[in-house]
Amino acid sequence: MIGSIYLDEGSSRDLQAKFRSRYRNVDILLIDDVQFLAKKQAVQEELFHTFNALQSESKQIVLTSDVPPKEIATLEERLRTRFEGGLIADIQPPDAETKIAILKQKAFERKAIVPPDVLEFLARDSGTDVRTLEGRLTKVVFASKLHEKPITMELAMTALREAVSEEHETVTSDKIIGSVCSFYKISRENLLGKSKKKELVQPRQICAYLMCEIMNIPLVSIGEVMGGRDHTTVIHSREKIANLVKVNDRIAKDVEDIRNMILKQ
């Protein structure tokens, strides 16, 4: 049994309950973005006891973070030492060879025959985000099925060129930012600024989420247009809103209304 939890800015009480009722009885515990434990003392307390309980039973614990344990602010020392006691792996963005290997696997899963030259073409200029890489492959496979033609370099180039024409030119980052600002009646400066007010943070996260969903550009580029933010912040925003739209009807409706505004302009 695998337990996974995404640590975000939600209720510490809810997270405590989840840890207690479910995550101490798993074989593998996966925690994404563990750096968000900073300043969450109650959650750190629960994780400490959960960590000990699982470790005593020789269960596996996998943590991800955008910084090493020693650089996580306000992390309790007892947790820091436990994090550092395991294997620490520095995962870098995929190189060209890794991208091609990922594409081969994804193509195999889709039962698609993709020539080596097309794999290399898809891997080039695809940024560092695996989702973008997979999205490029998806467009080419879809074009192949739509036109009932084998995947060739010509077909791949045409498919991506059409996708860029439809997405990049029709929907721009400025259009998405403008739609979010209009919907929430806030200024562009406030949306892209550094304020941590809730009435600004959530629209900012929704804006980043919609850019990820609609535009075919690297996360680094999205971070730049979102006020010079790091790509990990964009990832957090995307995952936060992706989770909220599943459980929060108001957020889901807001996102859908803004999406319709963008696509109808």
Residue-wise pLDDT tens digits, 108-167: 988 999 999 999 989 886 766 777 788 889 889 888 888 889 999 999 988 887 665 454
| CATH number 3.40.30.10 given to 96-169 | no
Residue 169 CB neighbour total at 10 angstroms: 8
Residue-wise pLDDT tens digits, 44-91: 888 888 888 888 888 898 988 877 888 877 788 888 888 888 888 877
Task: Give me the residue spans of the domains in the chain.
Answer: 2-84, 96-169, 173-264
Domain 2-84 - what CATH class?
A: alpha beta
Task: Name the CATH topology of 173-264.
Answer: Chromosomal Replication Initiator Protein Dnaa; Chain: A; (1.10.1750)
3-state secondary structure of 21: helix
149 phi, psi to nearest 5 deg: -130, 150
- The DSSP line for 48-111 is HHHHHHHHHTT-EEEE--SS-GGGSTT--HHHHHHHHTS-----PPP-HHHHHHHHHHHHHHTT
Q: Which residue, 106, 112, 154, 153, is CA-closest to 131?
A: 106
- How far apart, in whole angstroms, are the C-alpha atoms of residue 193 and residue 228? 10
